[in-house]
């Protein structure tokens, strides 16, 4: 079991509360994958923050990744034997299930209350999403500043403050040099929000808030595959709808 390996590797970092959480998870694995973080905290008689700290101690990015690791039926990609409509439906269901409402609400709060919000993306498809995301929020009167290159992002670091926020979009979350860039960003106190595929990755583990999606993959018959990044847009819609509900219609 992957959890056992992570616990063993990080045992010296764990306290009695952490070990109590481990014991409950091991004895109730099938139940845990259906619980929200608040429900698990209640079952273990600890706080939500204690659960989050535990996941960080064992090297995970948060509770969503813990649940994904525990669920043998969950995959970072969606089964190719499904029809395309079924794949799309599964993709949407997984995104809604794995990205908890309280995390999306926190992300919306950062967008609303930060002095400046930036969005940085790695790759052409991710940059297209970033432009779409910026345009969607501009219709609501909220300006989001796009960063299209790593050099531009590094030049920005000295101007960032702890009341700023940055959304980082990456398919793998493990692009070369991305972990170093995030560490430099974190020294400024800026809030870092990541949007990646659901897998263990450096970006998610270092971010303050993590949102995940599942890749739609299609075999092309020549040994290559087409990877759809539509989950970026679905997550973007969840954020947008939540923002409208909390800060536009109220």
Q: Render 102-117 in DSSP notation, one character per residue.
A: HHHHHHHHHHHHSS-E
Residue 2 CA to its chain's centroid (Å)? 20
* Average pLDDT score over residue span 7-28: 88
Give CA–CA dist 14/175, Å, rounded: 30
Q: Which domains does the chain have, with CATH numbers?
A: 2-74 (1.10.10.10), 96-248 (3.40.50.10490)
Residue 125: CB atoms within 10 A of its CB come to: 16
**Residue 202 clears pLDDT 70, i.e. is over it:** yes
- Tell me: the pLDDT tens digits for 29-67? 888 988 999 999 999 999 999 999 999 999 888 888 888
**pLDDT number for residue 74:** 46
- Tell me: the pLDDT tens digits for 158-190? 999 999 999 999 988 878 888 899 999 999 999
Contacts of 82 (CB under 8 A, 6+ apart): 90
- Tell me: the pLDDT tens digits for 98-152? 677 888 999 999 999 999 999 999 988 899 999 999 999 999 999 999 998 999 9
**pLDDT number for residue 179:** 86
Looking at the whole model, is its pTM more than 0.85? no
């Amino acid at each position: 079991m992957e959890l056992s390996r992570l616990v063993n590797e990080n045992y010296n970092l764990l306290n009695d509360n952490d070990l109590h959480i481990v014991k409950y998870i091991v004895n109730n694995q099938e139940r845990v994958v259906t619980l929200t973080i608040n429900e698990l905290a209640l079952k273990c008689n600890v706080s939500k923050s204690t659960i989050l700290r535990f996941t960080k101690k064992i090297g995970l990015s948060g509770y969503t990744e813990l649940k994904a690791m525990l669920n043998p039926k969950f995959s970072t990609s969606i089964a190719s034997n499904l029809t395309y409509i079924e794949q799309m439906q599964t993709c949407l269901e997984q995104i809604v299930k794995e990205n908890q409402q309280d995390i999306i609400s926190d992300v919306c709060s950062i967008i609303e209350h930060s002095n400046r919000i930036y969005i940085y993306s790695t790759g052409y498809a991710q940059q297209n999403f970033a432009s779409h995301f910026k345009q969607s929020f501009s219709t609501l009167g909220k300006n989001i500043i796009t960063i299209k290159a790593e050099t531009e992002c590094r030049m920005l670091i000295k101007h960032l403050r702890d009341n700023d926020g940055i959304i980082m979009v990456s398919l793998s979350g493990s692009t070369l040099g991305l972990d170093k860039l995030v560490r430099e960003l974190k020294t400024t106190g800026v809030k870092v929000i990541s949007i990646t595929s659901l897998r263990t990755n450096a970006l998610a583990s270092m971010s303050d808030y993590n949102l995940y999606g599942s890749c739609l993959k299609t075999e092309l018959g020549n040994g290559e595959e087409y990877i759809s990044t539509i989950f970026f847009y679905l997550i973007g819609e969840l954020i947008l709808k939540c923002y409208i509900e909390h800060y536009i219609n109220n």
